[in-house]
Amino acid sequence: MGITPLHARLIVLEHKRRPLPETIHLLGRQTVYLTEEDAKRMLQSCGVEPAAAATELDVQTIGAAALQGQYISDRMFFAMLGAKNVLAIDYTDYEGAEIIIDLNAPVPQEHVGTIDFLFCGSVLDNIFDPATYITNVSRLLKPGGRVCDQNIISQAHHPYLILTPGWMLDYYVVNRFSNYTIYITEHSAAGFVHVYGMVPAAEEMVSDFGPPRGAIPIGITVIAEKARHSTSDRLPIQDQYRTESDKAYYRESVLELAKDLELPTFGAPTAQELVKLGLRSSKSFRYLGVLRPGDLSLESTQPFVGALPDQSTVGGMRIIEATYGASAVGTPPPAASVCAAFRGNVTETIASLANGHERWEWRVDVHVLGDPLPTVGKDLEVLYYFANEPGRPVRRAYLAAEAAGKTLVLSREDQSGAQLGRAHVATQ
């Protein structure tokens, strides 16, 4: 669970639109991935002067403990936005939660309509009953209350559920929430994040964002406000099964949303970044730009204004296929894993690191690739070509098991002693 720089910025922008209340509720204690200086710089760059807040470093959450107390606590972060109380809700008193609620069951009546602002840190993707969860979140909110709910919607990070943006949109549409925005993020292994905003149209169908690219994580963040006329218990009907009255109700709600929808912009992507992790094109999603590690100030990067750089100017290598653990496929796994061994299982991860380089050296990191077969030796094989080389011959780099900790070198020097043929893929 955590508030990343992206989520922190979205919270600050929401605070700027309408100030946060004095009492903040969290679903789960949150690791805030910001130092005190980072947080101040981010607020100021968004035009918000930080409120006076006592310095409190996070020594409570597991995420922060691994980093030896460099990050501020969730209490301090929200205090910088004027909050006086920050209360965590959880299934147990894990990491010091003050309020114990099982969100798989209807919330107790004493908690209904008690919350002004609720931040949900990757709970829905780890809960068994999603419909009960989202209904509970709505029931917890007061009229005028807001929720900021962030989750993973791809297989990365071992989620319990993989939900679509349309599933979340439809709930808030049919229950007539207001001022809701939905962001989709695709996270490269190189650290930068492509950010998209959902732009629902009056027609009933939400177009598909597309499946995960290997182990590249996809996240979703929803910010929604409960209006006085909002409901909690109306359940959506999927687009192709709606009656004419269902369609009219849905269309009216979406048109109401479109009047006030404002989406921020982020940094303009470079051609090199687009070669490492290309963009998606889908009618219901608008590309908002890229967020890079360290982009804490809006002045630190050129904003994206809709013009994309020419990727054809970027030479260097292109990864065709990368496999970690092919040598062990078929071996009975001695331990469970959150990822699998199969042909091409780390293609997109390696591509988002190596594409565009003329020569690339990397110490193989199992924390980046994932460990499909714990305690079993795994090899690493990479097939690649160079975009500006005549004929685009395919090269092969190979590290025998155990590859983790060894140095992978991708260059024009043939790694296997013989070129493998010609590339069949013209572009990536």
CATH number for the domain spanning 63: value is 3.40.50.150
Mean per-residue pLDDT, 154-168: 88
* Long-range contacts (CB closer than 8 Å, 24 or more residues apart) made by 262-266: 262/181, 263/181, 263/197, 263/199, 263/288, 264/13, 264/288, 265/289, 265/303, 265/304, 265/305, 266/195, 266/290, 266/291, 266/295, 266/301, 266/303, 266/304
Q: Which domain holds residue 290?
A: 2-300
Same domain, 206 and 114: yes
Same domain, 225 and 324: no
Helix (H, G, I), strand (E, B) or coil at 223: strand
For tokens 């998209």, name the residue: 196
CB 349 within 8 A of CB 343: no
> Among the three residues 242, 272, 300, which one is the final residue of a domain in this structure?
300
* CA dist., res. 405 & res. 290, Å (int): 30
Residue 147 lies in a domain: yes
* CA dist., res. 267 & res. 308, Å (int): 11
Mean per-residue pLDDT, 110-132: 94
Residue 228 lies in a domain: yes
| pLDDT one-digit tens code per residue, 48-75 | 999 999 999 888 887 777 666 689 999 9
Whether residue 416 is predicted with pLDDT greater than 50 in this model: the reply is no
Same domain, 265 and 335: no
User: Phi-psi region for residue 214, left (φ > 0), alpha (ψ -120 to 50) or beta?
Assistant: left
Same domain, 296 and 320: no
Can you give the pTM of this predicted structure? Answer: 0.91
Mean per-residue pLDDT, 137-163: 92
As for how many domains the chain has, the answer is: 2
Write the DSSP assignment of 314-344 as a string of letters: --SEEEEEEEESGGGTTSPPSS--SS---TT
Q: What is the pLDDT of residue 319?
A: 97
Token pair for 250: 């849905």
Whether residue 415 is predicted with pLDDT greater than 80 in this model: the reply is no
Whether residue 428 is predicted with pLDDT greater than 90 in this model: the reply is no
Residue 152 lies in a domain: yes
Q: What is the pLDDT of residue 176?
A: 94
> Among the three residues 271, 300, 329, which one is the final residue of a domain in this structure?
300
Whether residue 246 is predicted with pLDDT greater than 60 in this model: the reply is yes
* CA dist., res. 48 & res. 308, Å (int): 30
Q: What is the pLDDT of residue 55?
A: 93
Whether residue 193 is predicted with pLDDT greater than 60 in this model: the reply is yes
Average pLDDT value for the chain: 89
* CA dist., res. 91 & res. 72, Å (int): 24
Same domain, 319 and 363: yes
Whether residue 236 is predicted with pLDDT greater than 50 in this model: the reply is yes
Same domain, 385 and 274: no
Q: What is the pLDDT of residue 60?
A: 80
Please report which confidence band the pLDDT of residue 301 belongs to, taking 50, 70 and 90 as the band edges.
low
Residue 22 lies in a domain: yes
Q: What is the pLDDT of residue 282?
A: 92
> DSSP state, 74?
H
Percent share of the chain, pLDDT over 90: 68
Residue 353 lies in a domain: yes
Q: What is the dihedral of CA 280, 285, 286, 288, to 10 degrees?
A: -80
Same domain, 322 and 284: no
Same domain, 296 and 321: no
Mean per-residue pLDDT, 100-119: 94
Token pair for 109: 């009546």
Residue 428 lies in a domain: no
Residue 306 lies in a domain: no
CA angle, residues 47, 87, 59, in degrees to nearest 5: 85
Minimum mean pLDDT range among 26-40, 122-136, 274-288, 300-314: 300-314
Same domain, 217 and 156: yes
Minimum mean pLDDT range among 217-226, 305-314, 397-406: 305-314
Residue 145 lies in a domain: yes
Same domain, 330 and 275: no
Q: What is the pLDDT of residue 18?
A: 94
Mean per-residue pLDDT, 347-366: 96
Same domain, 65 and 180: yes
Most confident of the ranges 103-117, 146-160, 329-343: 103-117
Q: What is the pLDDT of residue 1?
A: 67
Mean per-residue pLDDT, 405-426: 64
Whether residue 83 is predicted with pLDDT greater than 70 in this model: the reply is yes
Q: What is the pLDDT of residue 305?
A: 80
> Among the three residues 300, 327, 342, which one is the final residue of a domain in this structure?
300
Q: What is the pLDDT of residue 48?
A: 93
| pLDDT one-digit tens code per residue, 129-139 | 999 999 999 99
* Number of other residues whose CB lies within 10 A of the CB of residue 331: 13
Whether residue 21 is predicted with pLDDT greater than 90 in this model: the reply is yes
Whether residue 357 is predicted with pLDDT greater than 50 in this model: the reply is yes
Q: What is the pLDDT of residue 68?
A: 63
Same domain, 253 and 359: no
Q: What is the pLDDT of residue 405?
A: 96
Q: What is the pLDDT of residue 66?
A: 66
Please report which confidence band the pLDDT of residue 201 belongs to, taking 50, 70 and 90 as the band edges.
confident
